Structure 1
Amino acid sequence: MAGFVLAVSTAGAASAQPSPTPSIPAAVDWAACGDNGGECATIKVPVDYANPSGGSIDLAIGRHKALNPAKRIGVLIAHPGGPDSSGIDTFINRNLIPADSVLRQYFDVVSVDPRGVARSNPVKCDVDVLEQEPSAYPANESEYQAWLAFNAKLSQNCRERTGPVFDHVDTTNAARDVDSIRAALGEKQISFFAISYGTQVGQQYAELFPQNIRAMAIDSNMDHSITSAFRYLQTTTEDFEGSFRAFVKWCGETEACPLNGENVTAVWDGLHRRAAEGTLKDPSTGAAISAERLRVLLFRAMYNPAASWFDLATTLKALEAGKAAELPTVATPKAESVSYAYPTIWCSDWKWQVSGFKELDEYRKRLEKLYPHTKISPFWTDVVYCLNWQGKATNPQHRLDISGTRPTLMPKARYDIATPAAWNYAAAAQIPKARILEYDGVGHGQYRNSTCARNHIETYLTSLKLPPRGTHCASQYPSQPPTSVRAAEEQPLSVTGRPLH
């Protein structure tokens, strides 16, 4: 274990000035970890950067050293999404950036388990409390009150189980942790790459430490300036509906699709209607399949079409025929408590003004009229989780205030159910010298979904050469079922079975 003396600013706001860089960092004690040649270590960071003498936590980091050290450019911080994902698992143990990437050749790829996650003082909650979570969008006042009571109980339980870091897991602190990693490694500047929720960390890092960035590519972007709960739900559902329409079109044009030649929209609408009525059964168990569970099945398939669309079509066809089908399930943890950082981090970053059930129900009705096939994004929980949450929103929504950075490359998809197109455009408008890279297909994380996007991302991070303005990457959909799917390509779920950003 290694520590270092960290000079910090006492200001907590995202626009605060960065602290001085330590001149002589202590050595980081790396040790082999995982099965892919990675190394892991811990560094000590303050629980509260506004009170650096008030205690510390061990922040877990991992790295792959540059495979071509003679041409090493520096350190690339690869930040995970989530906000409940492990960077060590994603980038070090499972190699989301593969060994044949030029990024692995010329950078020390370094990632982190963000504070509150996995190996970095995880947020802990009791399993018996988590099992009380309501399963659906509230349909009446009683169900709305049940959500409020659950959120209060869960947040209090998690704080008791976790300790002081519970109140210091927001994205501003995660961004400061990134700079603590830079300082511990003795680097004057870092390059930064992230997908999904990690883009918000990158955006706020650029606010706090613009001079410490050599290059930044943030893929599938959050927009932390959204203050309207309805706007949040509307944008996510808009891209959910668009993704579904693209799936229908693909299936009609792809002979190998199991539903090719059928009216895919009618198949889906019929299944959803039966699920809403309580008459759609799981053929393998006889249990009813809820409309929420069916929408999550569709939703998850839209992260990575190459890995999921054939399976989705197969499942829908089987359900329509009343045959056994594989549906997403979540095993109940057997431990007394479990790591569950998602709502704690999320509700530190997002505060919603919702007056009560009537307003929330009006959101649902409006969305169902606008998006008749998909109804409402499963990320409605991002709003509902924070209603009556007992932790403080220490990093609430704000427009970015960035200056002095190099150009930022921002790949996005035509339809992205986790970070919609509208978010990417809005975030880019707040970042000086932002360069949008358009992927004309469906998916989340264009580094994975598009060879063209991956090439542009790698070119920029290594050479600082941006794609020309207006560059588009063509959609890249499968024509045949995949033979296998790497674990790193599977969309992670929270402990409750809900998708992560």
Structure 2
Amino acid sequence: MGKRFLSLAVVVAISSSVCAPVASATAPITWTECGTEFKGQCAQLDLPIDWAEPDGEKFGLAIGRLPALDPGKRIGVLFVGPGGPGLSGIDRYVTGRRIPDDSPLRQYFDIVTYDPRGVSRSHEVRCSSELLDQPRWEVPKNEAQFQRLKDINAALAADCRKHTGPLFDHVDTTSAVRDIDAVRAALGEERISFYGASYGTMLGQQYAELFPRRLRASVLDSNVDHSISSAYEYLRTTAEELERSLGEFARWCASTASCALHGRDVVALWDGLHAKAVAGTLIDPNSGQPVKPEPLRGNLDAWMYTPSRDWSKLATYLARLDGATEARTVTPVVETREYSHRAIWCSDFRWDISGFAEFDAHLKRVEREVAPHAKLSPFWTDVGWCLGWTGPVNNPQHKLKIKDVPPILLTTSRFDVAAPLSWNQAVHRQIPGSVLLQYDGAGHGQRANSTCALKHITDYLITLATPPPNTHCPAEYPVAQTGGPSSATSPK
């Protein structure tokens, strides 16, 4: 980051109680300026690699802060849990402005976040590019390919441990949650407010489990359901949501004149493109190279995150794919990169799959019964890439056990390819007293997709007043069909 950090030893008392206490920091944090386009404050805490051995070897946890713009209105700290897993909270919320300066939240809260352990500035997980570039995206079609995938996963885990060191074995979400409470203690805050989206909801869920009395308020936006232990259920729910979102995109195109596919049967077009990809005859108009079915579905999935920004681009891309015919020769580019996402995810999820026959049966059942057009979500890798992984599963799936927390606001959308509606409903059932707000459109991360949800989130964090149960927000798409986007809600 180009700026020095102040090392700070923080000792946490490990406890089996529902609210494990954290001892006070040994010294106040000294912040230094960080960032280029946007300025913020950064520091470093020296924390235990293994929270079971608080006096053992340490690593440097990078934290960032934007102080409240109006000290007279300051409520306290809003800790923002980054998504991914593997995304930098500092890049997004401190040296970036995912919560813009004109947001009311900036008036009332110090925005505090971190790069979770194993991510970016916080001793990132590193792996050799040679292994990372091994072919893993293609779904195994036979026993040999399935075993090859498991062998690559095992080799990657060993390689990442070699290049990362002891922290590799302790990048699970429970450890990352204990880091959050160490940050709270170092800041001298009795309680914090929390916002997390996507994987950040797992941080928020488990913080509420371990430290319920340290929470003032919590918003969990687009929830991951950590209680899913069935590989089939994970594959089914993610594929089902991609199928449903494809249908919603087709309906949008049918009613939006500016859609590049307006007037065409979008689902039939997609089926044709996917069939060509399977046959090896679909050509990318940008690279001139054949497009395989896995990256084709991956692009579809990615464009479903933010309809207001991306659906027009998706329609144009599919239209161009439909017209591309000529393949060209290109030289592949090899890049090195961190690999924290898989190390963290496979520390949190264990999948009981006996072998290729069971795995293949799951996939074929999904394609036959659940997603005949979308076929399979690219999130099949959340299962497939953990098979054979030799890193420890320190935080396996479990149902949440939460009590003594303030009302927690959960937000979901009707169509979310990365956090299906059914996941959010399951998390809602697991958190007593929680309130579920539903956005009736498509997308991932309702704070960004819905002005209505954003208002409810902001109002709740400031006033602690949740919206009424069963409140819905209307869909907001690139071209409104019945007037402009509304910020009003109506319980259903």
* TM-score under structure 1 length normalisation: 0.91
Alignment match, 1:391? 391
Distance in 2 between residues matched to 1:392 and 1:330, nearest whole Å:
34
The SS at the match of 1:59 is: strand
Q: Which amino acid aligns with 2:471?
A: T
Q: Relative to 1, partners in 2 of residues 1:324 and 1:202: Cα closer, same or farther, differing over 3 Å?
A: farther
Alpha-carbon deviation of 1:284? 4.3
Alignment match, 1:30? 31
Q: Relative to 1, partners in 2 of residues 1:444 and 1:173: Cα closer, same or farther, differing over 3 Å?
A: same
> Is 1:361 aligned with 2:360?
yes
Query: Deviations 1:130-150 (Å, cap 9, x if unpaired)?
Result: 111423111111110110110
Q: Which amino acid aligns with 1:28?
A: I
Alignment match, 2:78? 76
Distance in 1 between residues matched to 2:399 and 2:286, nearest whole Å:
49
The SS at the match of 1:124 is: coil
* TM-score under structure 2 length normalisation: 0.93
Q: Relative to 1, partners in 2 of residues 1:55 and 1:293: Cα closer, same or farther, differing over 3 Å?
A: same
Q: Relative to 1, partners in 2 of residues 1:242 and 1:457: Cα closer, same or farther, differing over 3 Å?
A: same
Alpha-carbon deviation of 1:319? 1.3
Distance in 2 between residues matched to 1:390 and 1:177, nearest whole Å:
24
Distance in 2 between residues matched to 1:149 and 1:68, nearest whole Å:
55
The answer to whether the Cα contact below 8 Å between 1:66 and 1:105 also exists between their aligned partners in 2 is yes
Alignment match, 2:120? 118
Alpha-carbon deviation of 1:54? 1.3
Alignment match, 2:415? 415
Alignment match, 2:270? 268
Unaligned runs of 5+ in 1: 481-501
Q: Equivalent residues in 2 for 1:203-222 (5 A)?
A: 203-222=205-224
Unaligned runs of 5+ in 2: 1-5, 481-492
Q: Relative to 1, partners in 2 of residues 1:211 and 1:401: Cα closer, same or farther, differing over 3 Å?
A: same
Q: Relative to 1, partners in 2 of residues 1:17 and 1:239: Cα closer, same or farther, differing over 3 Å?
A: same
Query: Deviations 1:280-337 (Å, cap 9, x if unpaired)?
Result: 1223444211111111111110000011100100011111122799xxx99631x5xx
The SS at the match of 1:191 is: strand
Alignment match, 1:438? 438
Distance in 1 between residues matched to 2:364 and 2:46, nearest whole Å:
49
Distance in 2 between residues matched to 1:331 and 1:232, nearest whole Å:
33
Alpha-carbon deviation of 1:246? 0.4
Distance in 1 between residues matched to 2:65 and 2:407, nearest whole Å:
25
Alignment match, 2:312? 310
Alignment match, 2:49? 47
Q: Which amino acid aligns with 2:30?
A: D
Q: Which amino acid aligns with 2:198?
A: S
Alpha-carbon deviation of 1:470? 1.1
Bigger mean CA offset, 19-28 vs 97-106: 19-28
The answer to whether the Cα contact below 8 Å between 1:269 and 1:373 also exists between their aligned partners in 2 is yes
Distance in 2 between residues matched to 1:72 and 1:445, nearest whole Å:
26
> Is 1:381 aligned with 2:381?
yes
The SS at the match of 1:439 is: strand
The SS at the match of 1:125 is: coil
Alignment match, 1:109? 111
The answer to whether the Cα contact below 8 Å between 2:285 and 2:320 also exists between their aligned partners in 1 is no
Choose which of 9, 23, 47 in structure 1 pairs with 2:14: 9
Alpha-carbon deviation of 1:392? 1.1
Query: Deviations 1:424-443 (Å, cap 9, x if unpaired)?
Result: 01011111111000100000
Distance in 1 between residues matched to 2:180 and 2:59, nearest whole Å:
14
Alpha-carbon deviation of 1:386? 1.1
Alignment match, 1:452? 452
The answer to whether the Cα contact below 8 Å between 1:318 and 1:324 also exists between their aligned partners in 2 is no
Distance in 2 between residues matched to 1:193 and 1:254, nearest whole Å:
34
Q: Equivalent residues in 2 for 1:280-319 (5 A)?
A: 280-319=282-321
The answer to whether the Cα contact below 8 Å between 1:45 and 1:57 also exists between their aligned partners in 2 is yes
Distance in 2 between residues matched to 1:355 and 1:245, nearest whole Å:
34
Alignment match, 2:342? 343
Distance in 2 between residues matched to 1:321 and 1:194, nearest whole Å:
41
Q: Which amino acid aligns with 2:310?
A: S
Distance in 2 between residues matched to 1:444 and 1:204, nearest whole Å:
21
Q: Relative to 1, partners in 2 of residues 1:284 and 1:150: Cα closer, same or farther, differing over 3 Å?
A: same
Q: Which amino acid aligns with 2:204?
A: G
Distance in 1 between residues matched to 2:448 and 2:440, nearest whole Å:
14
Q: Relative to 1, partners in 2 of residues 1:252 and 1:354: Cα closer, same or farther, differing over 3 Å?
A: same
Q: Which amino acid aligns with 1:269?
A: D
Name the count of aligned residue pairs: 470
Q: Relative to 1, partners in 2 of residues 1:461 and 1:323: Cα closer, same or farther, differing over 3 Å?
A: farther
Q: Which amino acid aligns with 2:455?
A: N
Q: Relative to 1, partners in 2 of residues 1:150 and 1:21: Cα closer, same or farther, differing over 3 Å?
A: closer
Choose which of 179, 186, 189 in structure 2 pairs with 1:177: 179
Alpha-carbon deviation of 1:357? 0.5
The answer to whether the Cα contact below 8 Å between 2:70 and 2:107 also exists between their aligned partners in 1 is yes
The SS at the match of 2:423 is: helix
Alignment match, 2:281? 279
Query: Deviations 1:28-70 (Å, cap 9, x if unpaired)?
Result: 1111111312111101111111101111111001111101111
Distance in 2 between residues matched to 1:257 and 1:188, nearest whole Å:
51
Alignment match, 1:486? none
Q: Which amino acid aligns with 1:128?
A: E
Q: Which amino acid aligns with 2:350?
A: K
Alignment match, 2:254? 252
Query: Deviations 1:102-132 (Å, cap 9, x if unpaired)?
Result: 1111100001100000000111101111111
Q: Which amino acid aligns with 1:322?
A: A
Q: Equivalent residues in 2 for 1:183-194 (5 A)?
A: 183-194=185-196
Q: Relative to 1, partners in 2 of residues 1:98 and 1:324: Cα closer, same or farther, differing over 3 Å?
A: farther
The answer to whether the Cα contact below 8 Å between 1:123 and 1:158 also exists between their aligned partners in 2 is yes
Q: Relative to 1, partners in 2 of residues 1:363 and 1:2: Cα closer, same or farther, differing over 3 Å?
A: same
The answer to whether the Cα contact below 8 Å between 1:2 and 1:29 also exists between their aligned partners in 2 is no
Alpha-carbon deviation of 1:98? 1.1
> Is 1:99 aligned with 2:104?
no
Distance in 2 between residues matched to 1:259 and 1:6, nearest whole Å:
58
Alpha-carbon deviation of 1:262? 1.1
Q: Relative to 1, partners in 2 of residues 1:401 and 1:330: Cα closer, same or farther, differing over 3 Å?
A: farther
